[in-house]
Amino acid sequence: MHFALLLLMAAPLPPSSTLSGSDGTLSWVVTADGEEVRLDGRSPKWTVSHWATPELTPLRTRRTDEDGATVEVAYSDTGAVVKLPKKTVTIDQPGLWDGDTLDVRLGALVARGTTDLDFAALDVANAKVYDFQARLQGQETCGSSPCSHIRVTLTGILKAVGPKWHFWFGADGQMLKFEGPIGTFAVEG
């Protein structure tokens, strides 16, 4: 089992979040239903429904882009099978994160005090796996609440040319602010 996923075991789930930005809304609804956790996300570019174990180990994902293209992913202990609109891709790499839902996974880790980690995530939109690193940038204030600023980057040669994602999480793991390629979003208030 991947180290970062082990850290999530027995962690409370982060709360749902709704952030607003000039391009629309970024939201996560986190619900637990016995043996599974469901993460429903919405951004100006996509919607996603993801199912995971209570430890947030990925089980399956359904993502729909703004143009209506749908991708379905089935995760296993050995990797994932990705059904793209025109082909199916099998990925043999254990311990993958679901790239679309890493916001919630990072929030759960921050709530447990883990802020620096390396992980591999599946880009659901194109069935490619990328290596990432998350690093604490410091403690800040988001509105009137303390928050942890986490920067996520690609690793290796892609680190210099790839996008950067910035997340701000409250102590309970709730996402309070996000800056990345899809825009800047923050909790109102």
Name the 3-class secondary structure at 3: helix
Between strands 97-98 and 117-123, the pairing is parallel
* Residue-level pLDDT at 13: 82
Q: Is the pLDDT of residue 184 over 70?
A: yes
Domain span at residue 67?
A: 3-10+18-186
> Is there a contact between 9 and 24 (Cβ–Cβ < 8 Å)?
no
> What number is the average pLDDT over the span 10-23?
83
Q: How wide is the angle at C-alpha 90 spanned by C-alphas 129 and 97, nearest 5°?
A: 40
pLDDT tier at 33, thresholds 50, 70, 90: confident
Please state the pTM of the whole predicted model: 0.88
Q: Is the pLDDT of residue 10 over 80?
A: no
Q: What is the pLDDT of residues 78-135, one digit of tens each?
A: 999 999 999 999 999 999 999 999 999 999 999 999 999 999 999 999 999 999 999 9
> What number is the average pLDDT over the span 31-52?
93
| Rounded Cα distance, 18 and 59, in Å | 24
Query: For the chain, what is the domain count?
Result: 1
DSSP 8: H
Phi-psi map region of 95: left, alpha, beta (phi>0 left; psi -120 to 50 alpha): left
Q: What is the pLDDT of residues 149-181, one digit of tens each?
A: 999 999 988 888 889 999 999 999 999 999 999
* Contacts with 65 (C-beta within 8 Å, 6 or more apart), sequence order: 45, 46, 125
Q: How wide is the angle at C-alpha 66 spanned by C-alphas 183 and 87, nearest 5°?
A: 115
